[in-house]
Structure 1
Amino acid sequence: MRKKDFKTYVDQACRAAEEFVSIYYDTMDKRRQALTRLYLDKATLIWNGNIVSGLDALNNFFDMLPSSEFQVNMLDCQPVHEQATQSQTTILVVTSGTVKFDGNKQHYFNQNFLLTAQSTPNNTVWKIASDCFRFQDWASS
């Protein structure tokens, strides 16, 4: 991969990550019933060490969460080399910030997403293949 090609991949990853993060947290806070549309059918979520796999399980899990207010303070991303993903266009997105669930104190969190590009005739949609969410309570004590 030439330097210019890599810079193009990084720029695409950054644009996709910023758009995705905006959509993801807005959907989580305001339209949670639509959240699983952002996941692949066989996606895995690890929420504070608990594994949730598949769309039905994800739907059930998200239904149990109280309403939320997410504030993203940091976003980082990078393309994942195609040799590691069987030539699937993939990006790693890392976020951190604060979240307040209804009736609970504010928590610091970090979240990592592996997104894969799903191409349709008209556009490319990024879907979550893997999602790892973790409270960072040590930071608030």
Structure 2
Amino acid sequence: MIVRTLEERAGTEYDVGTDTWKSRRLLLKEDGVGFSLHDTVIKAGTETLIWYKHHIEAVYCVEGEGEVELIETGEKFRIVPGTMYVLNGHERHYLRGGAVDMRVVCVFNPPCTGREVHDEEGAYATAE
């Protein structure tokens, strides 16, 4: 059994961030459970290009607000607490923070290793 708290991950190597987001990685590939679990804050007023071409990501919003815009179609989806979305088609998209920070819980398959940040295409590298 694995038991962890957000507080014990904060400020460690499992606390990864950029100018637009901060992600506390709670479960990773090394844990051997077949997926990774992240508690992520999308900073208010920011925009991040994302294309998980090597991963499927499910996202559940628990606080704040934001928006996902699919690049191929231009469709926009408002994200508020209680909203879940899955990028099951490897959709290229913009993730935008709203007027306040948005906190989401993310699940990745295959699992992330823990240090990933988006490359110039908005992707994470394949897990080794």
Scaled by the length of structure 1, what TM-score is found?
0.27
Larger of the two Rg values belongs to structure: 1
Scaled by the length of structure 2, what TM-score is found?
0.29
- Larger RCO (CA within 8 A; separation ≥ 6): 2
Structure having the higher helix fraction is: 1
